[in-house]
Amino acid sequence: MAHIPPRKPGKKALRYGVPVAVAGVAAVTVGLVPALADTGDPELPEVTAEELVAKMAESKTDQLTGTVKVDTDLGLPSIPGMAGGGGGEEHGGMFGGGGEQAEERGDTKGGPSESPGGAPRQKLMELASGEHTLRVAADGPEKQRVSIVEDTAEYSFIHNGKDLWTYDSASDSASHTELPEKAAKGGQHEKMPDLTPQKAAKKALAAVDDTTSVSVDGTAKVADRDAYQLVIKPKADAKSTVESVRIAVDAENGTPLKFTLMPRGGGEPAVDIGYTDVDFQQPDADQFDFQPPEGTDVTREKLGAKAPELEEKFQDKFKGEGKELRSGLDGLNVLGEGWDSVVEVELPKNALGGLVSGGRSDAPQIGKLLDGFTDEVKGDFGTGRVIESELVNALITEDGKVYAGAVTKDGLVDAAEEAAK
Amino acid sequence: MSRADTTSADDAREPVPGTAPPAEAGATTTQPEAGPAGQGGSLGRGLSLFRSELSITFRRWRTLALLAVLLGVPVVVGIAVKIETSDGGSVGGGGGGGEGPAFIAQITNNGLFLVFTALAVTLPFFLPMTVGVVAGDAVAGEAASGTLRYLLVAPAGRTRLLCVKYATTLVFCLAATLTVALSALVTGALLFPVGEVTLLSGTTVSFGEGLLRAFAIAVVVAASLVGLAALGLFISTLTNSGVTAMAATVGLLITVQILDTIPQLDVMHPALFPHYWLSFGDLLRDPVYWDQLVRNLGLQGVYAVVFGSAAWARLTSRDVTA
């Protein structure tokens, strides 16, 4: 057999060095480039917190196109009864998931209201956990669109005048809502998802009162723009589980670019919403035109008298700051002020299904399971169980009341005792 | 066996200039790398080697069988969707959101979507498997059938041979992808209505632009296989058995695909070559969402350079005994 040695033997190591070097360079580039780009916070003229808040409030940005990264880690277990008619396949959504709900879901699933194009609420629930990418575009108060970017699919909300469309490309279905005259002109409508840094910042500012400290903490670069960092903190004696809220405000036009909520327990941000890319030019007009493709399932709905119900549907999920929660929702009270506010909900009679007294029912293993992820507490309100998470805690009492809020367990018990008096 | 299973293999080799009958090894190894011809000559020689390599690869029964399988997949998917929706229902009972392969719900409204569905169906396994077979066989197959040394004693040069092998594999990537796409396009047009295309974002574009995007997607899908092709070529230089190289490449593909689905390993996911494969769907957004597409292409480029140069290091420094 012929034996053919290489023409230039003896440089084996050198040759293998090439792929190793290329791999090394690639790894270093991937690792270092973001780090290098991160350094050097922009130098900007000093501003006071008041000036910055005023700048943010005055901000008149209503034309923009951008990409928003939403990263939420509320670590929420499910709260029965709150899920309502939530259907099938949300992946550990805010109030989805969780074994004790299986039965309830089974009931609703078969129903005719599996709302193909709709289920926008379900989509929003999905946003409440994990990492998501949104693309937003806005052109004045009458035209906005928000698209949830998914693998090989997209879920879009398109608001144009009095039309509000949702289009789900995964199931090729759409829903159309005709908005009442006032809402159409009134800018950002309730039904549009609230998950832009602007909305989140507005809510955080609404919660500012004398239990809060507001300060400016340096500058940052967000989505390639210079920004001031505004830090909002509950004062030390507060029972809030929120450590701080950090808002990056565009130095030029005062638009909030990034919103970060740190839980008191430390670690990863519980909510992190920020533009990764933003452009304040007028977006393409045809982005706001939606014609349902032929053959697409379209659910139609006219909005009028049903407004409160819808408001309930699209209520903001950041309970701690959500002052709007005071309006709308039936059977829902907000106790306390500012950061310590707690929501009280009365559940339908059968919703609990022996959850609280589960330990004493004829299925002892359920009780054990419950003990695994809840704590039993006693007080003026009777016996209850506390479900704890990073940010939001909930107390469910025997008589079917749920207290929930971004407050510590003690704060929750105090609020419940206060309410029971 | 790879060489032997084509009866025309020897004829196809014939036009390669300088393919002398097997000479004594010692005589050729003293030849300078570039050969007596100048730069243009060596390029021309490379081209004719490439041409003969292409015709050998695409005349091989195995290649044709692989392409036939790829041709069949869209037809099967199209007929299945047609049957399921023939009673007026929609795929997956409607409102399924995310059930079944990507884009499948839109097929009934627009046959063009069969192209995207077919690519999404074949991309995780069928397509890369065929590429793994072709790439894995590229060098190891020659070694197994004893033809590698004939190629090397010709003044083709090892580097040039490797480049030609890689180029042929890339042509196969494109051919395989286009086979799926065209078969899906024809099937879709025959079974379903075609017309204006509603993009994922809900905006509507003309059928012409839809076709253009479909073509761009096919090219992106083919480019997604570039990294795997380099990996297969590298494995192919490690062994003298074509079957071993093919099995190793396909096995590695499956392993990496599994690793990519394990959430605990998400730190390493962005470095796995199939991780951004489905990003081709981003071309169907309006405006196009480039982020993942660019990452995919960049990652494929890194894989191509790393494993391409590793294959080069291996082939140019090893003794060829078969």
Task: Give tens-digit pLDDT for B142-151.
Answer: 888 888 877 7
pLDDT, position B238: 92
Please state the rounded mean pLDDT for residues A37-45: 71
B48 Cα to chain A: minimum distance (Å): 23
Q: How far apart are CA B85 and CA B193, in angstroms?
A: 13
Q: Which residues in chain A touch residue B307, judged by CB atoms under 8 angstroms apart?
A: 19
Q: How far apart are CA B16 and CA A149, in angstroms?
A: 52
Number of domains present in the structure of chain A: 2
Q: Do the beta carbons of residue A385 and residue A396 sit within 8 Å?
A: yes
Q: Average pLDDT over chain A, rounded to whole?
A: 70
A336 Cα to chain B: minimum distance (Å): 40
Task: Tell the burial category of B246 from Cβ atoms under 10 Å away from its Cβ (0-12, 13-18, 19+).
Answer: buried
Pairwise pLDDT comparison (A374 vs B268), residue with the higher score: B268
Q: Do the beta carbons of residue B187 and residue B107 sit within 8 Å?
A: no
> Which region holds residue A75: left if phi is over 0, alpha if psi is between -120 and 50, else beta?
left
CB contact under 8 A, B200 and A287: no
Which residues are within 8 A (CB) of B18 and not within 5 positions of it... i.e. 6 or more apart? B35, B45, B154, B155, B156
ipTM score here?
0.74
A18 Cα to chain B: minimum distance (Å): 6
A255 and A398 housed in the same domain: no
pLDDT, position B257: 93
Chain B neighbours among A 64-103 (CB < 8 Å)?
67, 89
Q: Which residues in chain B touch residue A125, judged by CB atoms under 8 angstroms apart?
A: none
Q: What tens digit of pLDDT does each residue of A177-223 get?
A: 887 766 555 444 445 556 667 776 776 676 666 677 888 888 888 88
For the cut 90, the answer to whether the pLDDT of residue B184 exceeds it is yes
The number of CA neighbours under 13 Å toward the Cβ of B162 is 24
A193 and A55 housed in the same domain: yes
| B28 residue type, one letter | T
Query: Is A284 domain-assigned?
Result: yes
Residue A28's CB is within 10 A of a number of other CB atoms, namely 10
Pairwise pLDDT comparison (B313 vs B19), residue with the higher score: B313
Q: Do the beta carbons of residue A88 and residue B68 sit within 8 Å?
A: no
Residue of A372, A269, A246, A245 lying closest to A321 (CA atoms): A245
Q: How far apart are CA A272 and CA A16, in angstroms?
A: 44
Q: How far apart are CA A275 and CA B141, in angstroms?
A: 51
CB contact under 8 A, B98 and A89: yes
Band (pLDDT 50/70/90 cuts) for residue B155 is low
Tokens 């409508």, residue? A189
For the cut 70, the answer to whether the pLDDT of residue B153 exceeds it is yes
A178 and A281 housed in the same domain: yes
* B269: its two tokens: 């996911």
Q: How far apart are CA A204 and CA A259, in angstroms?
A: 9
Q: Which residues in chain A touch residue B149, judged by CB atoms under 8 angstroms apart?
A: 2, 4
Q: Which residues in chain B touch residue A147, judged by CB atoms under 8 angstroms apart?
A: 201, 285
Tokens 């003690």, residue? A410
A268 and A343 housed in the same domain: no
Residue of A289, A335, A69, A50 lying closest to A158 (CA atoms): A289
Q: Which residues in chain B touch residue A15, judged by CB atoms under 8 angstroms apart?
A: 312-313, 316-317
Q: What tens digit of pLDDT does each residue of A102-145 get?
A: 333 333 333 333 344 446 667 776 776 778 888 888 888 888 88
> Which region holds residue A344: left if phi is over 0, alpha if psi is between -120 and 50, else beta?
beta
Q: How far apart are CA A11 and CA B82, in angstroms?
A: 60
Helix (H, G, I), strand (E, B) or coil at A253: coil
Please state the rounded mean pLDDT for residues B100-113: 84
For the cut 70, the answer to whether the pLDDT of residue B120 exceeds it is yes
Q: Which residues in chain A touch residue B28, judged by CB atoms under 8 angstroms apart?
A: 4
Chain B neighbours among A 230-289 (CB < 8 Å)?
284, 286-287, 289
pLDDT, position A311: 45
Q: How far apart are CA B30 and CA A395, in angstroms?
A: 85
> Which region holds residue A64: left if phi is over 0, alpha if psi is between -120 and 50, else beta?
beta
Chain A: residue whose CA lies nearest to B103: A170
Q: How far apart are CA A152 and CA B199, in angstroms?
A: 11
For the cut 90, the answer to whether the pLDDT of residue B35 exceeds it is no
Size of interface A-B (CB pairs under 8 A): 161
Tokens 């004693």, residue? B153
Query: Is A30 domain-assigned?
Result: no
Please state the rounded mean pLDDT for residues B32-37: 40
Tokens 């894995």, residue? B136
Q: Do the beta carbons of residue A66 and residue A277 sit within 8 Å?
A: yes
φ and ψ at residue A219, rounded to 5 degrees? -130, 170
Does A125 lie at the interface with B, CB-CB under 8 angstroms?
A: no
A194 and A66 housed in the same domain: yes
Pairwise pLDDT comparison (A127 vs A161), residue with the higher score: A161
- Residue A219: its H or E element: strand A212-222
For the cut 50, the answer to whether the pLDDT of residue A87 exceeds it is no
Helix (H, G, I), strand (E, B) or coil at A7: coil
Please state the rounded mean pLDDT for residues A76-91: 37
B42 Cα to chain A: minimum distance (Å): 18
Q: How far apart are CA B77 and CA A5, in angstroms?
A: 51
For the cut 90, the answer to whether the pLDDT of residue B116 exceeds it is yes
Nearest to A152 among B24, B120, B286 (CB): B120
pLDDT, position A18: 85
CB contact under 8 A, B291 and A23: no
Query: Is A199 domain-assigned?
Result: yes
Mutate to test the interface with B, among A156, A169, A175, A286 (most CBs of B within 10 A): A169
Band (pLDDT 50/70/90 cuts) for residue A353 is low
CB contact under 8 A, B195 and A294: yes
pLDDT, position B177: 96
Please state the rounded mean pLDDT for residues B134-144: 89
Mutate to test the interface with A, among B24, B104, B145, B203 (most CBs of A within 10 A): B203
Strand order from edge to edge, sheet including A297-302: A212-222, A225-234, A242-250, A256-263, A271-279, A63-73, A129-139, A143-150, A153-160, A163-168, A173-178, A297-302
Q: Which residues in chain A touch residue B316, judged by CB atoms under 8 angstroms apart?
A: 6-8, 15
Q: Do the beta carbons of residue A378 and residue A277 sit within 8 Å?
A: no
pLDDT, position A33: 72
Q: Do the beta carbons of residue B229 and residue B300 sit within 8 Å?
A: no
Which residues are within 8 A (CB) of B269 and not within 5 positions of it... i.e. 6 or more apart? B259, B260, B275
Please state the rounded mean pLDDT for residues B175-180: 96
For the cut 90, the answer to whether the pLDDT of residue B254 exceeds it is yes
Please state the rounded mean pLDDT for residues B235-257: 93
Residue of A203, A159, A206 lying closest to A185 (CA atoms): A159
Query: Is A8 domain-assigned?
Result: no
Q: Among positive and negative, which fits the CA dihedral B37, B42, B43, B46?
A: positive
Please state the rounded mean pLDDT for residues B224-244: 93
Q: Which residues in chain B touch residue A17, judged by CB atoms under 8 angstroms apart?
A: 313
Mutate to test the interface with B, among A1, A3, A7 (most CBs of B within 10 A): A7
The DSSP result for B73-115, as a single string, is HHHHHHHHHHHHHTTS--GGGSS-SS-SSTTGGGTTT-TTHHH
Q: How far apart are CA A213 and CA B46, in angstroms?
A: 72
Band (pLDDT 50/70/90 cuts) for residue A86 is very low
A295 and A347 housed in the same domain: no
Domain that holds residue A165: 49-313
Helix (H, G, I), strand (E, B) or coil at B136: helix
Please state the rounded mean pLDDT for residues B284-307: 91
For residue A398, give the CATH number of its domain: 3.30.310
For the cut 70, the answer to whether the pLDDT of residue A3 exceeds it is no
For the cut 80, the answer to whether the pLDDT of residue A326 exceeds it is no
Pairwise pLDDT comparison (A312 vs A271), residue with the higher score: A271
- In angstroms, how far is CA B248 from the centroid of its own chain? 16
Q: Which residues in chain B touch residue A158, judged by CB atoms under 8 angstroms apart?
A: 202
Query: Is A25 domain-assigned?
Result: no
pLDDT, position B9: 39
For residue A270, give the CATH number of its domain: 2.50.20.10
Which residues are within 8 A (CB) of B241 and not within 5 positions of it... i.e. 6 or more apart? B140, B143, B144
CA distances to A240, A278, B292 from A225, rounded to whole Å, are 32, 9, 22
Residue boundaries of the structural domains of chain B: 9-14+40-317
Does A152 lie at the interface with B, CB-CB under 8 angstroms?
A: yes
Cis peptide before A116 (omega within 30 of 0): no
Nearest to A151 among B278, B309, B322 (CB): B278
Nearest to B306 among A6, A23, A168 (CB): A23
Mutate to test the interface with B, among A18, A90, A113, A152 (most CBs of B within 10 A): A152
CB contact under 8 A, A287 and B203: yes
A203 and A308 housed in the same domain: yes
For the cut 70, the answer to whether the pLDDT of residue B320 exceeds it is yes
pLDDT, position A307: 46
A299 Cα to chain B: minimum distance (Å): 11
